Protein backbone atom coordinates (compact mmCIF):
# COMPACT_ATOMS: atom_id res chain seq x y z
CA UNK A 1 0.00 0.00 0.00
CA UNK A 2 1.38 3.38 -0.95
CA UNK A 3 1.42 6.16 1.66
CA UNK A 4 1.27 9.80 0.67
CA UNK A 5 3.20 12.18 2.90
CA UNK A 6 2.75 15.90 2.41
CA UNK A 7 5.40 18.31 3.63
CA UNK A 8 4.79 20.91 6.32
CA UNK A 9 5.03 24.66 6.50
CA UNK A 10 4.36 26.55 9.73
CA UNK A 11 3.06 30.06 10.15
CA UNK A 12 4.07 32.31 13.00
CA UNK A 13 0.53 32.89 14.26
CA UNK A 14 -0.99 30.85 17.08
CA UNK A 15 -3.32 29.15 14.59
CA UNK A 16 -0.60 27.28 12.79
CA UNK A 17 -1.67 25.18 9.81
CA UNK A 18 -0.09 22.36 7.93
CA UNK A 19 0.14 23.09 4.23
CA UNK A 20 0.73 20.28 1.75
CA UNK A 21 3.06 20.37 -1.21
CA UNK A 22 3.82 17.89 -3.92
CA UNK A 23 7.39 17.50 -2.73
CA UNK A 24 7.98 14.39 -0.61
CA UNK A 25 9.86 14.94 2.62
CA UNK A 26 10.73 12.78 5.62
CA UNK A 27 8.19 12.37 8.38
CA UNK A 28 8.56 14.43 11.53
CA UNK A 29 6.22 12.98 14.11
CA UNK A 30 7.16 15.59 16.71
CA UNK A 31 6.26 18.50 14.44
CA UNK A 32 3.03 16.83 13.38
CA UNK A 33 2.15 16.28 17.02
CA UNK A 34 2.83 19.89 17.93
CA UNK A 35 0.74 21.15 15.07
CA UNK A 36 -2.11 18.84 16.05
CA UNK A 37 -1.95 20.05 19.66
CA UNK A 38 -2.11 23.65 18.43
CA UNK A 39 -5.22 22.70 16.47
CA UNK A 40 -6.76 21.12 19.58
CA UNK A 41 -5.96 24.14 21.74
CA UNK A 42 -6.78 27.06 19.46
CA UNK A 43 -9.44 25.66 17.15
CA UNK A 44 -11.17 22.99 19.22
CA UNK A 45 -10.71 24.78 22.54
CA UNK A 46 -9.76 21.68 24.53
CA UNK A 47 -8.84 22.15 28.19
CA UNK A 48 -5.35 21.79 29.68
CA UNK A 49 -6.04 18.38 31.20
CA UNK A 50 -7.14 16.89 27.87
CA UNK A 51 -4.21 18.52 26.08
CA UNK A 52 -1.78 17.07 28.61
CA UNK A 53 -3.25 13.56 28.14
CA UNK A 54 -2.99 13.84 24.34
CA UNK A 55 0.61 15.01 24.61
CA UNK A 56 1.58 12.15 26.92
CA UNK A 57 -0.14 9.52 24.77
CA UNK A 58 1.38 10.74 21.49
CA UNK A 59 4.85 11.10 23.01
CA UNK A 60 4.63 7.57 24.39
CA UNK A 61 3.74 6.21 20.97
CA UNK A 62 6.52 8.22 19.31
CA UNK A 63 9.08 6.65 21.66
CA UNK A 64 8.30 3.11 20.45
CA UNK A 65 10.35 3.31 17.25
CA UNK A 66 13.65 4.81 16.16
CA UNK A 67 12.39 4.87 12.57
CA UNK A 68 9.71 7.61 12.29
CA UNK A 69 8.20 5.97 9.22
CA UNK A 70 7.18 2.95 11.32
CA UNK A 71 4.90 5.15 13.40
CA UNK A 72 2.59 5.61 10.43
CA UNK A 73 2.09 1.94 9.60
CA UNK A 74 -0.74 -0.40 10.48
CA UNK A 75 1.71 -3.10 11.56
CA UNK A 76 3.44 -0.88 14.11
CA UNK A 77 0.11 0.30 15.50
CA UNK A 78 -1.01 -3.30 15.97
CA UNK A 79 2.23 -4.17 17.79
CA UNK A 80 1.85 -1.10 19.99
CA UNK A 81 -1.76 -1.95 20.87
CA UNK A 82 -0.71 -5.50 21.76
CA UNK A 83 1.99 -4.09 24.04
CA UNK A 84 -0.55 -1.83 25.75
CA UNK A 85 -2.60 -4.88 26.69
CA UNK A 86 0.31 -6.25 28.71
CA UNK A 87 0.79 -3.05 30.71
CA UNK A 88 -2.47 -1.15 31.15
CA UNK A 89 -6.11 -1.51 32.11
CA UNK A 90 -8.79 -1.54 29.42
CA UNK A 91 -9.81 1.98 30.41
CA UNK A 92 -6.26 3.32 29.93
CA UNK A 93 -5.84 1.43 26.66
CA UNK A 94 -9.07 2.91 25.28
CA UNK A 95 -7.92 6.41 26.14
CA UNK A 96 -4.50 5.98 24.57
CA UNK A 97 -5.97 4.49 21.40
CA UNK A 98 -8.57 7.28 21.25
CA UNK A 99 -5.75 9.85 21.40
CA UNK A 100 -3.96 8.17 18.50
CA UNK A 101 -7.14 7.78 16.46
CA UNK A 102 -7.97 11.46 16.84
CA UNK A 103 -4.44 12.37 15.75
CA UNK A 104 -4.50 10.21 12.61
CA UNK A 105 -8.04 11.33 11.76
CA UNK A 106 -6.79 14.90 11.89
CA UNK A 107 -3.86 14.14 9.56
CA UNK A 108 -6.20 12.45 7.11
CA UNK A 109 -8.81 15.22 7.25
CA UNK A 110 -6.18 17.89 6.65
CA UNK A 111 -4.80 15.83 3.75
CA UNK A 112 -1.40 15.62 5.40
CA UNK A 113 -1.18 11.84 5.46
CA UNK A 114 -3.15 9.11 3.74
CA UNK A 115 -4.45 6.47 4.16
CA UNK A 116 -5.28 6.43 7.85
CA UNK A 117 -3.62 3.30 9.35
CA UNK A 118 -6.58 2.92 11.73
CA UNK A 119 -8.98 2.46 8.81
CA UNK A 120 -8.17 -1.26 8.59
CA UNK A 121 -7.80 -1.95 12.31
CA UNK A 122 -10.85 -3.36 14.11
CA UNK A 123 -10.81 -3.17 17.88
CA UNK A 124 -13.22 -4.57 20.43
CA UNK A 125 -12.28 -3.44 23.90
CA UNK A 126 -14.81 -4.40 26.54
CA UNK A 127 -14.29 -2.56 29.78
CA UNK A 128 -15.59 -4.38 32.88
CA UNK A 129 -18.84 -2.80 34.05
CA UNK A 130 -18.24 -1.25 37.45
CA UNK A 131 -20.92 0.52 39.43
CA UNK A 132 -20.01 4.07 40.50
CA UNK A 133 -18.58 4.17 44.01
CA UNK A 134 -20.69 6.42 46.19
CA UNK A 135 -20.44 7.85 49.69
CA UNK A 136 -23.26 7.04 52.15
CA UNK A 137 -25.12 10.18 53.17
CA UNK A 138 -24.28 9.46 56.82
CA UNK A 139 -20.57 9.47 55.93
CA UNK A 140 -20.86 12.79 54.07
CA UNK A 141 -22.62 14.15 57.16
CA UNK A 142 -19.79 12.92 59.40
CA UNK A 143 -17.15 14.42 57.09
CA UNK A 144 -18.81 17.85 56.95
CA UNK A 145 -19.54 17.84 60.69
CA UNK A 146 -15.88 17.14 61.39
CA UNK A 147 -14.79 20.08 59.23
CA UNK A 148 -17.26 22.47 60.87
CA UNK A 149 -16.20 21.31 64.35
CA UNK A 150 -12.58 21.90 63.39
CA UNK A 151 -13.47 25.45 62.33
CA UNK A 152 -15.11 26.14 65.69
CA UNK A 153 -11.88 25.34 67.55
CA UNK A 154 -9.65 27.66 65.51
CA UNK A 155 -8.69 31.25 66.27
CA UNK A 156 -10.61 33.41 63.79
CA UNK A 157 -7.50 35.46 63.09
CA UNK A 158 -5.31 32.47 62.33
CA UNK A 159 -4.23 31.14 58.96
CA UNK A 160 -5.60 27.73 59.92
CA UNK A 161 -9.07 29.21 60.42
CA UNK A 162 -8.98 30.66 56.90
CA UNK A 163 -7.77 27.40 55.37
CA UNK A 164 -10.54 25.50 57.16
CA UNK A 165 -13.07 27.96 55.72
CA UNK A 166 -11.71 27.07 52.28
CA UNK A 167 -11.82 23.33 53.02
CA UNK A 168 -15.46 23.54 54.05
CA UNK A 169 -16.35 25.49 50.91
CA UNK A 170 -14.60 22.89 48.75
CA UNK A 171 -16.36 19.94 50.41
CA UNK A 172 -19.74 21.65 50.34
CA UNK A 173 -19.48 22.60 46.67
CA UNK A 174 -18.23 19.18 45.57
CA UNK A 175 -21.36 17.61 47.02
CA UNK A 176 -23.78 20.45 46.23
CA UNK A 177 -22.88 20.77 42.55
CA UNK A 178 -21.52 17.37 41.48
CA UNK A 179 -18.73 19.12 39.62
CA UNK A 180 -15.53 17.32 38.66
CA UNK A 181 -12.43 18.05 40.73
CA UNK A 182 -10.75 19.60 37.67
CA UNK A 183 -13.76 21.89 37.20
CA UNK A 184 -13.67 23.02 40.83
CA UNK A 185 -9.94 23.73 40.84
CA UNK A 186 -10.11 25.79 37.63
CA UNK A 187 -13.00 28.02 38.72
CA UNK A 188 -12.25 31.68 38.08
CA UNK A 189 -13.43 34.54 40.22
CA UNK A 190 -15.89 35.64 37.52
CA UNK A 191 -17.39 32.14 37.30
CA UNK A 192 -18.80 32.39 40.82
CA UNK A 193 -21.77 34.71 41.39
CA UNK A 194 -22.73 34.13 45.01
CA UNK A 195 -25.14 37.09 45.03
CA UNK A 196 -27.28 35.09 42.60
CA UNK A 197 -26.15 31.72 43.93
CA UNK A 198 -24.91 30.63 40.49
CA UNK A 199 -21.66 28.95 39.43
CA UNK A 200 -20.55 28.76 35.81
CA UNK A 201 -18.68 25.54 35.11
CA UNK A 202 -16.58 24.72 32.06
CA UNK A 203 -16.63 20.96 31.57
CA UNK A 204 -15.04 18.56 29.12
CA UNK A 205 -14.57 20.06 25.68
CA UNK A 206 -15.08 23.52 27.23
CA UNK A 207 -18.84 22.89 27.45
CA UNK A 208 -20.41 25.49 29.70
CA UNK A 209 -23.17 24.86 32.24
CA UNK A 210 -24.69 26.84 35.10
CA UNK A 211 -25.32 25.33 38.53
CA UNK A 212 -27.62 26.96 41.06
CA UNK A 213 -26.68 26.64 44.73
CA UNK A 214 -29.97 25.85 46.41
CA UNK A 215 -28.86 25.21 49.99
CA UNK A 216 -28.38 28.14 52.39
CA UNK A 217 -25.54 26.50 54.38
CA UNK A 218 -23.60 25.72 51.20
CA UNK A 219 -24.04 29.28 49.97
CA UNK A 220 -22.96 30.65 53.35
CA UNK A 221 -19.84 28.45 53.37
CA UNK A 222 -18.86 29.72 49.91
CA UNK A 223 -19.53 33.34 50.90
CA UNK A 224 -17.47 33.04 54.10
CA UNK A 225 -14.54 31.64 52.15
CA UNK A 226 -14.83 34.27 49.41
CA UNK A 227 -14.90 37.08 51.97
CA UNK A 228 -11.84 35.71 53.79
CA UNK A 229 -9.79 35.29 50.59
CA UNK A 230 -11.25 38.23 48.64
CA UNK A 231 -7.94 40.06 48.18
CA UNK A 232 -6.04 37.02 46.87
CA UNK A 233 -8.95 35.95 44.69
CA UNK A 234 -9.08 39.39 43.13
CA UNK A 235 -5.31 39.44 42.54
CA UNK A 236 -4.99 35.96 41.02
CA UNK A 237 -8.35 35.55 39.30
CA UNK A 238 -8.70 31.98 40.66
CA UNK A 239 -11.52 31.21 43.08
CA UNK A 240 -9.91 28.43 45.13
CA UNK A 241 -6.38 29.10 46.36
CA UNK A 242 -3.76 27.28 48.40
CA UNK A 243 -1.78 28.74 51.31
CA UNK A 244 0.80 30.19 48.90
CA UNK A 245 -1.84 32.08 46.97
CA UNK A 246 -1.68 29.79 43.93
CA UNK A 247 -4.52 27.91 42.28
CA UNK A 248 -5.66 24.96 44.39
CA UNK A 249 -4.53 21.67 42.85
CA UNK A 250 -6.38 18.37 42.45
CA UNK A 251 -3.83 16.72 44.72
CA UNK A 252 -4.40 19.29 47.47
CA UNK A 253 -8.11 18.50 47.46
CA UNK A 254 -7.41 14.76 47.69
CA UNK A 255 -5.08 15.37 50.61
CA UNK A 256 -7.72 17.58 52.24
CA UNK A 257 -10.41 14.89 51.99
CA UNK A 258 -8.05 12.25 53.42
CA UNK A 259 -7.19 14.56 56.32
CA UNK A 260 -10.82 15.03 57.38
CA UNK A 261 -11.58 11.34 56.88
CA UNK A 262 -8.80 10.50 59.33
CA UNK A 263 -9.98 13.15 61.79
CA UNK A 264 -13.56 11.83 61.61
CA UNK A 265 -12.50 8.19 61.87
CA UNK A 266 -13.96 7.36 58.45
CA UNK A 267 -12.53 4.08 57.12
CA UNK A 268 -13.92 4.42 53.59
CA UNK A 269 -11.38 5.68 51.05
CA UNK A 270 -13.10 8.73 49.56
CA UNK A 271 -12.02 10.39 46.32
CA UNK A 272 -13.27 13.75 44.99
CA UNK A 273 -15.10 12.01 42.13
CA UNK A 274 -17.14 9.98 44.61
CA UNK A 275 -18.92 13.20 45.60
CA UNK A 276 -20.05 13.50 41.97
CA UNK A 277 -21.27 9.90 41.94
CA UNK A 278 -23.11 10.44 45.21
CA UNK A 279 -24.67 13.68 43.96
CA UNK A 280 -26.16 11.90 40.93
CA UNK A 281 -27.21 8.72 42.74
CA UNK A 282 -28.92 10.50 45.62
CA UNK A 283 -30.80 12.82 43.25
CA UNK A 284 -32.06 9.78 41.34
CA UNK A 285 -33.24 8.25 44.60
CA UNK A 286 -35.21 11.44 45.21
CA UNK A 287 -37.01 10.92 41.86
CA UNK A 288 -35.22 13.72 40.01
CA UNK A 289 -35.62 13.23 36.25
CA UNK A 290 -32.47 11.72 34.76
CA UNK A 291 -32.47 14.35 32.00
CA UNK A 292 -32.03 17.09 34.61
CA UNK A 293 -29.21 15.12 36.23
CA UNK A 294 -27.58 14.80 32.81
CA UNK A 295 -27.60 18.59 32.47
CA UNK A 296 -26.29 19.12 36.00
CA UNK A 297 -23.40 16.72 35.42
CA UNK A 298 -22.61 18.15 31.99
CA UNK A 299 -22.91 14.82 30.18
CA UNK A 300 -23.23 15.17 26.41
CA UNK A 301 -25.01 11.80 26.21
CA UNK A 302 -27.70 10.51 28.55
CA UNK A 303 -26.14 7.05 28.14
CA UNK A 304 -23.31 8.22 30.39
CA UNK A 305 -25.78 9.36 33.03
CA UNK A 306 -27.74 6.11 32.92
CA UNK A 307 -24.94 4.26 34.70
CA UNK A 308 -26.31 5.78 37.90
CA UNK A 309 -29.63 3.99 37.43
CA UNK A 310 -27.76 0.75 38.18
CA UNK A 311 -26.33 2.14 41.40
CA UNK A 312 -29.53 3.13 43.17
CA UNK A 313 -30.10 -0.08 45.15
CA UNK A 314 -32.31 1.76 47.66
CA UNK A 315 -34.56 2.96 44.85
CA UNK A 316 -34.70 -0.54 43.42
CA UNK A 317 -35.76 -1.93 46.78
CA UNK A 318 -38.45 0.75 47.21
CA UNK A 319 -39.85 0.05 43.72
CA UNK A 320 -39.95 -3.72 44.15
CA UNK A 321 -41.41 -3.44 47.64
CA UNK A 322 -44.20 -1.06 46.64
CA UNK A 323 -44.84 -1.80 42.96
CA UNK A 324 -44.17 -5.51 42.36
CA UNK A 325 -47.30 -7.28 41.03
CA UNK A 326 -46.77 -10.08 43.60
CA UNK A 327 -48.32 -7.69 46.11
CA UNK A 328 -51.66 -8.18 44.34
CA UNK A 329 -51.66 -11.94 44.88
CA UNK A 330 -53.39 -13.18 48.01
CA UNK A 331 -52.80 -16.84 48.82
CA UNK A 332 -54.67 -16.80 52.15
CA–CA dist 221, 165 (Å, integer): 7
Of the candidates 294, 283, 253, the one whose C-alpha atom is nearest the C-alpha of residue 271 is 253
Which residues, including other chains, have CB under 8 Å from residue 243's CB and lie 6 or more apart? 159, 163
The three-state secondary structure class of 283 is helix
- Cα→Cα distances 192→8, 166, 171, Å: 43, 14, 16
Question: Which of the residues 17, 41, 209, 273 is marked catalytic?
Answer: 273
Question: Which of the residues 39, 162, 276, 277 is marked catalytic?
Answer: 276
Give the CA count within 13 Å in the CB-facing half-sphere of 206. 10
Question: Which of the residues 54, 61, 202, 308 is marked catalytic?
Answer: 308
The four Cα atoms 314, 286, 304, 253 give a dihedral, to 10 degrees, of -90
Cβ atoms of 172 and 217 closer than 8 Å: yes
CA–CA dist 191, 170 (Å, integer): 15
Q: Is 54 a catalytic residue?
A: no
Q: Is 229 a catalytic residue?
A: no
Question: Which of the residues 96, 166, 180, 277 is marked catalytic?
Answer: 180
Which residues, including other chains, have CB under 8 Å from residue 297's CB and lie 6 or more apart? 178, 276, 279, 280, 304, 305
CA–CA dist 235, 217 (Å, integer): 27
Which DSSP category does 209 fall into? E
Question: Which of the residues 39, 96, 277, 299 is marked catalytic?
Answer: 299
Q: Is 326 a catalytic residue?
A: no
The three-state secondary structure class of 39 is helix
Q: Is 276 a catalytic residue?
A: yes
290-328 as b/e: b if 16+ CB within 10 A: beebbebbbbeeeeebebbeebbeebeeeeeeeeeeeee
Catalytic (active-site) positions: 180, 204, 273, 276, 299, 308
Amino acid sequence: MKYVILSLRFTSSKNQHLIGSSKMEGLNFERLTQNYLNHCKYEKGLDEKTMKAYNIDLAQYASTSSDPNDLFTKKHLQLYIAELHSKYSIKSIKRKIASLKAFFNYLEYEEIFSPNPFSKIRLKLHEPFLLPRTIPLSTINALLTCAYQQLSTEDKESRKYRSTLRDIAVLELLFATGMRISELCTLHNYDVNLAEGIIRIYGKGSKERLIQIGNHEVLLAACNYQHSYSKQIEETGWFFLNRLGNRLSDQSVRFMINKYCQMAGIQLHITPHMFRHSFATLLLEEDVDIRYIQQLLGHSSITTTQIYTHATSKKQKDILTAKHPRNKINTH
